[in-house]
Amino acid sequence: MSGMRVLVLGADGYLGWATCMHLSAAGHQVAGLDNYFRRDLARNLDLPPLLDPPALPQRARLWRERSGREIPVFIQDLCDYDALVEVMRRFEPQAVVHYAEQPSAPYSMMGPAEARTTLVNNLVSTLNLVQAIGALDRGVHVVKLGTMGVYGTPNIDIEEGYLTVQHKGREHTFLYPKTPGSLYHLTKAQDGDLLYFYCRMWDLAVTDLNQGPVYGIFSQEAGDDPRLLPPLAYDDIFGTVLNRFVVQAAAGVPLTVYGQGGQTRGYLNLMDTLTCVRLALESPAEPGQYRVFNQFTETFTVMELARAVVEAGAELGLQVEVNNIPNPRREAEEHYYNPVHRGLLELGLQPHYLDTAMLVKMLRLVLEHRDRIRRDLMDPRVTWQGGA
């Protein structure tokens, strides 16, 4: 199933452009769509990323020069239904990768306006996609990026999408119940519920990739061209935890561990995200199937991540300190956590596990930009109880 036409929604984000290039390199015909929503949020909040890639048309040009392959880009808002229909009519995708959501948990907890922006953007974008597919071609495979955070931390094993329950002598298989820990994570449970509903009603084919926090910036496709690397956010709003630790280590700032740091999550390298998305596209869901994969390669506590960064820093002669600060979130800091993650391995994923070499490489790159790191961006400014 090579050479598919794939439309990547949210092509400007942390993972979007890297995905476009990866799929393009694998021989697919890729187009990207974005309205610079997340870029504008970061700019408006004065949270510049450490690496700040050029706009999409420029990256498409750089990629063309590097690879000889075209990636048309559409600067459109997915919340504009007519615009989306127009793009889909022109490009006629066989599959869509949907990253185009507000991705930050702290942002969603800042206040009423940010909560509403998160809810409306994330659900209307998903609904518009479903409705456009419903109107144009119900055979289009949707690969939606979800999050492991939708499950919360239940006291039983987290299965891959579904849970079979025995109850009073009878049995039923449910979509695995969700207990998300932020409004952002809730909207990702809700967009999954939307897709599951239309799979049942319209026989849509959907893969939901419940992804753990991603770390890393390198990819084979970007190579050593820094202009093709993803934005590297390290602030408390848009920075994912391990990336933030790396920047804190480079800046000589203590790593900010929220509370005891016993929170356990499933993590993966950015390069594995790219492979997972491609594997899901190349072995699509069946019509009517809402297929769920738990997308991570290994679990760590936050303290384990901090210790890994301390160790990598030591290799470069950095004395990295760890600071357990009051937890701005409301979450369990010690809990059972045993999520299944078989599906993507069965499709052929060969994980890049976290190691010191990768952290050292990342640290070296960040150290080159050390003078641009803003130390005022890294402490948590949003609490789950009180907003911003």
Is 128 near a copy of itself (CB under 8 A)? Answer: yes
In the Cβ-directed half-sphere of 263, how many Cα atoms lie within 13 Å? 22
Is 384 near a copy of itself (CB under 8 A)? Answer: yes
> Residue 319 burial (CB < 10 Å; 0-12/13-18/19+)?
exposed
CB 320 within 8 A of CB 366: no
Q: Catalytic residue among 19, 126, 147, 153, which? A: 147
Is 335 near a copy of itself (CB under 8 A)? Answer: no
Is 193 near a copy of itself (CB under 8 A)? Answer: yes
Is 194 near a copy of itself (CB under 8 A)? Answer: yes
* Residue carrying the six token digits 């050029």: 54
Among 155, 319, 326, 350, the residue binding a copy of itself under the rule CB under 8 A is 155
How many angstroms separate the CA atoms of 92 and 73, rounded?
A: 14
Among 167, 224, 317, 376, the residue binding a copy of itself under the rule CB under 8 A is 167
Among 62, 80, 136, 190, the residue binding a copy of itself under the rule CB under 8 A is 190
CB 244 within 8 A of CB 299: no
Among 110, 123, 309, 310, the residue binding a copy of itself under the rule CB under 8 A is 123
Is 36 near a copy of itself (CB under 8 A)? Answer: no
Question: At a CB cut-off of 8 Å and minimum separation 6, what does 168 contact?
Answer: none
Q: Which bin fits 278, alpha (ψ -120 to 50), beta or left (φ > 0)?
A: alpha
Per-residue string for binding with a copy of itself, 294-333, x by CB under 8 A?
A: ------------------------------------x---
Strand partners, 189: none
**DSSP characters over 310-369:** HHHHHHTT----EEEEPPSS---SS----B---HHHHHT-------HHHHHHHHHHHHHT
- Is 187 part of the annotated catalytic residue set? no
Is 171 near a copy of itself (CB under 8 A)? Answer: yes
- Is 184 part of the annotated catalytic residue set? yes
Q: Which residues bind a copy of itself (CB under 8 A)?
A: 81, 111-113, 115-116, 119-120, 123-124, 127-128, 131-132, 134-135, 154-157, 163, 165-168, 170-172, 174-175, 177-180, 183, 186, 189-190, 193-194, 197, 200-202, 330, 336, 384-385
Active site members: 147, 184, 188
